[in-house]
Amino acid sequence: MSRLLAVGPALPGVAHPQSEITDTIGPLLTPSPSKRAVLRRLHEASGVRTRHTALALDEYAGLTSFGVANDHFIRVGTDLAEEACRTALDAAGLAPEEVDFLLFTSVTGIAAPSIDAQLVTRLGLRTDVKRLPSFGLGCVAGAAGIARVHDYLAGHPQDVALLVSVELCSLTLQHGDDSMANLVSTGLFGDGAAAVVMVGDAHRAGFPPVDGQSGDPRPGLPDGAAQGVEVLDTRSRLYPETADHLGWTIRDSGFGIVLSAGLPEVIAAHLAGDVKSLLAEHDLATEDVGTWVVHAGGPRILDVVRDSLGLDEADLRLSRESLAAVGNLSSSSVLHVLAATLAAREAYPGRRLAAPRTTDGRHGVLMAFGPGVSAELVLLRLPASPLEG
């Protein structure tokens, strides 16, 4: 078991209204008035109200080179990653030099040395920190990152781990691409980053000293009530023969979107069985889950999750709010929803974030979907608030 102590979300610049973004990029995608009318309708139906962008909107007209776009990714992405990490570490009450393992993920830019290497100096991490950069998991990587860090901490129960996600989707803009997939995606995806601090179950940060004592009077053993979110279990799924539904085509100009209208149906065909299988191993059913932390992939993805699992619309409120406020942040998306979930629980202690269930409501399921098509599920147990006893 591992414990998730804090999440640090980060966003670049200011929030731009969706209509302003549409007006800016429309002429860059197509000269056709009819295609721009389609673009506007698609953007209006995306469930997105505002988005943050890595660059000022007037800079995207000149963004025609993959090299230039990737330079912006490294510059802006490293700054955002540092901000997210500092926020998460401060919230967890841990210093950068205490981090033992760093997992970095992105699918919207590349770098060698990777951004995680830059963070060692930026944050003051130890030079012997273990690093693992990841590319290609896409939107699923926020959930998969938590799962893989959980796996690492199972073998290193006294360690501190840091998961970092950076996604600058706007920098993948493809000029002159008026395909339906690109018209949809340019209205859906946003820019952002997030960091998550996790510890193994033998690390004392998960068990603060009693009555404000400093230090650990019983070395190696917890002496206070457990804190943080327990990561109980995970599941990874890859659905065969679905690779053409989501991903990139790599072009001279950068990353071209692959996005199929059939993606929601792929998820609908498998999700309920996958979730029920995970829960059954812990003698749980969907009715026992009080919190659903769902990747804000888009309105149709959220509808499929709701309908497949028989959830209430209230179960997905924070996911839809995240989609509306910042768009689909790819791998960072589910981590922003997780941050909002924990903040809502802190603001309203004792309040279940979903409809009343048959158990104490403290179990949660975090999920995301990505290229492959793949899905990652994480079973959580949220801490009891003082009002819950």
Which residues are identified as catalytic?
A: 139
Of 143, 125, 130, 30, the residue nearest 377 (C-alpha): 143
CA distances from 276 to 218, 282, 294, 300, 374 (A): 40, 10, 16, 21, 17
> Distance (Å, rounded) from C-alpha 300 to C-alpha 153?
35
Q: Which residues contact 192 (CB under 8 A, 6 or more apart)?
A: 9, 10, 11, 12, 52, 80, 167, 326, 329, 332, 333, 336
Pairing of strands 160-168, 101-106: parallel
Q: What is the chain's Cα-based Rg?
A: 21
Give the burial class of 210: count Cβ atoms within 10 A of its Cβ; 0-12 exposed, 13-18 middle, 19 or more buried. Answer: exposed
Of 226, 270, 232, 221, the residue nearest 369 (C-alpha): 270
| DSSP classification of residue 245 | G
Strand ranges of the sheet holding 374-381, from the earlier edge strand across to the other edge: 130-135, 101-106, 160-168, 191-200, 2-10, 229-238, 374-381, 363-370, 291-294
CA angle 113, 119, 125 (to 5 degrees): 120
Inter-residue contact 379 to 289 (CB < 8 Å)? no
- Residue 364 C-alpha from the chain's centroid: 16
> Beta-strand (E) ranges in the chain?
2-10, 15-17, 50-52, 101-106, 130-135, 160-168, 191-200, 229-238, 246-251, 254-259, 291-294, 363-370, 374-381
324: number of Cβ within 10 Å: 17
| DSSP classification of residue 341 | H
Of 55, 77, 307, 298, the residue nearest 188 (C-alpha): 298
Residues in the chain: 389
> Distance (Å, rounded) from C-alpha 385 to C-alpha 289?
17
